[in-house]
Structure 1
Amino acid sequence: MDHLLRLLPLLACLTGQASAADPPDRPRLVVLTDIGSLTAGVAEPDDGQSVIRLMFYTNDFDIEGLIASSNLGHGQRVRPDLIRRVVDAYGEALPNLLLHDDRYPPASDLAGIIKAGRPIAGPNVPVEQSVGEGKDTEGSDWIIEVVDRDDPRPLWVLIWGGSADLAQALWRVRADRSPEDLDRFLARLRVHSIGDQDATGPWIRDEFPGLYTIIQRRAYRGMYRGGDPELVSSDWVREHIHGHGPLGDLYPDYDGGDIWSRTLGRVRGIKEGDTPSFLSLIPNGLGDTEDPWLGSWGGRFEGEGHRLADVADADLDTSGDPDPRMSSVYRWRPAFQADFRARLDWCAEPYEQANHPPVVRIAGERDRSVSPGGVITLDAGASSDPDGDELSFAWSVYPQPADAEAIPIEDLGSGLARLTINPDASARTIPVLLTVTDDGDPPLTRYGRVLVRVDEGGDSRPR
């Protein structure tokens, strides 16, 4: 069956469809998920929601592991069978998805990387019960195998539940290899953790301080709290997710709680607290995996060295939010929900009846230097849309430092803009953001970035 599916993107490309324009290197991912349910009202189905959404973005990633990890508060079992159910539904949707992008992988590839992790772990379980000699799991062995592959790209390990399998993998490598080999192993890893659901998370950070780690404490709750609630409501689930192919029909309508339920009410519809970990890696032009301070659909992160955490955006009024860090996710909700909605359409519609994201192209270098008083011209006129939709362009500075003066960008129309640096400007980096949105249904957004470095040694000529 898979060999037949591989012919579909070729046929689509011959008819002018399913081609991805200039795709960057796709991030490599291993996901540790404490998925425990795919049924509304049963246990905690939010991980199931996130795994289903992830399937729609397998064209943008190289997913190299789907590990069922321990789940906090919902029983000490691991459920690789639930991941298999999602992948089976993906396989049913795949022929139609391939009409829209030929990079979607065969379902058999994803089924082959589903692994079981350690079932007994939690915040009150001593690390020694999860990590050490005799504690290797299918999941921990798989992490080591994937990291050791001959691939220059770093491996992102996304932790949605327990981190015991990553902890065991690191313990095993340290026990079996030289310090130099351990350092090389760690250098190939990037970890993005949604909180700490067992004791091994802090243990990893204490034992391996050189490991690149992003930890989200509160920003991920902007996936479903704050912002426009209609975009994550049960009505939205019923209208835009259910009835859109086998993956959409499998999506559970969440009805449960979180830490703020007593004051803010129950969570109904979409929760997906783990989804920001991969939203931050989608190559949509907004974020940069090597510069997480720039922000992304999954939040914005700052820190010292290899340890980063979620931060709030200074340009939004977050006075009504239970935590200001949520804003760095919910500000993008209209864009990422429209993107999800379009991909749900890809499950059910032919290419001509669905929308596809614009392609953003900014002339010149991404990094530019300029002296105080200098002028830089920005040109995105070569941007295009695969469906022939009209494009709108919006230039801004993001993130906007709280203590910086306003930086006006003059919109010249047709994707052109001019940035004039204040003659008294101090040395700094100005993160210019271009937002390009088409007029399709739903309207889809992509981004472009230019980092303007104001420096006394820069070039003050118009550019």
Structure 2
Amino acid sequence: MKKLLSFFYLVITFSFCFAQDDVKRTIVTTDGEIDDVDTFIRFLLYTNEFETQGLVYSSSMWHWKGDGQGTTFTSEMEMTQRIYGENLTDLRWPGTQWMEELLSAYKKVYPNLILHDKNYPTAEKLLGMVRIGNIDFEGEMAKRTEGSKLIREKLLDDDHRELFLQAWGGTNTIARALKSIEEDYSGTKDWEVIKDKVSKKAIIYTIMDQDATYKNYIGPNWPEIRVFYNSNQFWCFAYPWKQVVPKSQQPYLEGSFMGPNIINNHGPLLKKYYSYGDGQQQEGDPNHFEGDISKIINTERGDFSKYDFISEGDSPAFLHLVDVGLDNYKSPSRGGWSGRFVLSEENPFRYEDGNRAADLNPETGELDTSYPQTRWIKPMQLDFAARADWCIKTFEEANHSPEIKISEGSKINAVPGETITLNVSTFDVDNHPVALNIWCYEEAGSGKVEVETKQNSATIKIPMTTKSGSQFHIIVEGTDTGFPALTRYQRVIITVK
């Protein structure tokens, strides 16, 4: 009996460790732009999907506090200097209380969120992770701050899991954390081991270069830290979305969808979500005009209506952590809700978007540098609407995502001329039927193969001319019939031998 109990203890312990290892951990750094606020609201509704270990106020080329002593500063970034000029004492600083205010609203909806998933962290736990980082000036990294100390601590801890560092603004607080490690250990016998450990642990997902600290410090001094660099695809989820998003996807960003399904009558957290014409004004940012209904008609970005989406330019960063079945966390070139990135030709530790990461947009028939992100907007927005419902509805009243399974597994070897059959099963906790769409993600692999879909299966014919080593990415997409309709996936990679 003792041996049997010991065996069960080992099984339970192993299962727990495996589950813990599988949970991704992350720290957010943010400059407080209004799109960061909206990203943060969506982020909070997905905190059951990963382990948040820090929420850090930082600065950027768009927002910095100043030192309070009248010291002037001129941006290193050409765009900011052109727009705002030189010798500024501060720039559009939104303060260091807005995360706490949103967490207070999150606390009110938390009792309802845990009806849907017990893994949501408490507001108190998240509040305990809020720190002020390097905020005085754009790119300031001279001072050790509470935010940089937290990042430093997590990079040096004994947790062997990767640490996913999100730069919603500049990378300066992250840079300060790394600089502190270098200052403390570079002259010691342990330096090479520590540098290797930190380089393997850290992943930086950055939305543009919003200061020069990656270029000036992180890249040259920590060249083996992995970087996912989104300088292009995020725009479809940012201010110019009407100029970028395909017409078929735009209704899910318009006020007729956003107002009733996300913003209104969904509790105090969603009511704070910034949208066009909503009457809200962010304190400290005189450039936030979008809430004034009289100023949103025929702007340079487009013609907007009340409750239209403004921007969540930083949401792709945290969406990379949400496992919807696309299996792209370790391999960003596969593509997913966070976009699709290819390995840099100059730096083997850097993934980036741009022309080499373009997908074919079926609406235009042309390669589109934003389509790796825009192709997912409808399911992402419906998923967001379901999470909004979780703030106010019981489990029985709300919708939850289906599960998709492939009998043959996610990795299949094949030979030229072979026909592969995939057998699909689905499960929906709400007992909704699940409709399947099975397709080949051409750009993620070596090209396209034809997929013939039947009710619960698909056949893929590998052409006789296929070269050895080719890979085909088959996306098995299942969408339930609840409302909002929710989609999950499985990716099958067929490798030709």
TM-score (norm 1): 0.83
| Conserved? CA contact 1:318–1:327, under 8 Å | no
Shift of 1:149: 2.9
Deviation (angstroms), 1:281? 2.0
From 412, 422, 438, the equivalent of 1:368 is 412
Question: Residue by residue, what CA displacement relative to the aligned partner does 1:145-165 show, whole Å, maximum 9, x if unpaired?
Answer: 122333232110010012111
1:109-135 residue CA offsets vs partner (Å, 9 max, x unmatched)? 10100010111232xxxx6xx234xx1
1:242 partner letter = N
How does the TM-score come out when normalised to structure 2? 0.78
Give 1 or 2 for the bigger CA radius of gyration. 2
1:212 aligned to which of 200, 208, 226: 226
- The 1:262/1:89 distance shift into structure 2, 3 A limit, reads closer
Gaps of 5+ in 1: 1-21, 36-43, 456-463
- Say whether residues 1:242 and 2:282 are aligned partners: no
Deviations 1:212-232 (A, max 9, x none): 001111100111411322222
Q: Tell me the equivalent position of 2:199.
A: 186
Structure 1 residue 106 displacement after superposition: 1.3
CA distance in 2, matches of 1:285, 1:343: 18
Secondary structure at the aligned position of 1:170 is classed as helix
Counterpart check, 1:59 vs 2:48: yes
Could you say which residue in structure 1 is the equivalent of 2:82?
none
Question: Distance between the aligned counterparts of 1:399 and 1:111, measured in 2?
Answer: 43
Matches within 5 A, 1:354-433: 354-381=398-425, 383-400=426-443, 404=447, 406-414=448-456, 416-427=457-468, 428-433=470-475
Indicate conservation of the 8 Å contact 2:334/2:445, yes or no: no
Distance (Å, rounded) in 1 between the aligned partners of 2:419 and 2:260: 48
Measured in 1, the distance between the counterparts of 2:44 and 2:141 equals 31
1:25 paired with 2:22, answer: yes
Q: Distance in 2 between matches of 1:45 and 1:31?
A: 15
Shift of residue 278 of structure 1? 1.2
* Secondary structure of 2:116 counterpart: coil
Out of 91, 97, 106, which is 1:90 matched to? 106
Question: SS of 1:352's equivalent?
Answer: coil
Equivalent runs, 1:89-238 vs 2, <5 Å:
89-122=105-138, 130-132=140-142, 135-177=143-185, 178-203=191-216, 204-224=218-238, 225=241, 226-227=245-246, 228-238=249-259
1:324 shift after superposition: 2.9
Q: What RMSD in Å do the two structures reach over aligned CA positions?
A: 2.4
- Shift of the 299–376 alpha-carbon distance from structure 1 to 2, 3 Å rule, reads same
CA contact under 8 A between 1:294 and 1:399: conserved in structure 2?
A: no
CA deviations 1:3-27 (Å, max 9, x no partner) are xxxxxxxxxxxxxxxxxxx999222
Change (3 A) 1:317 1:400: same
Residue identity (%): 31
Alignment partners' CA distance in 2, 1:100 and 1:195: 35
Partner residue in 1 for 2:284: none
> Is the partner of 2:460 in helix, strand or coil?
strand
Secondary structure of the corresponding residue to residue 270 of structure 2: helix
Determine if the alignment matches structure 1 residue 444 to structure 2 residue 454: no
Separation in structure 2 between the aligned mates of residue 341 and residue 326 of structure 1, nearest angstrom: 23
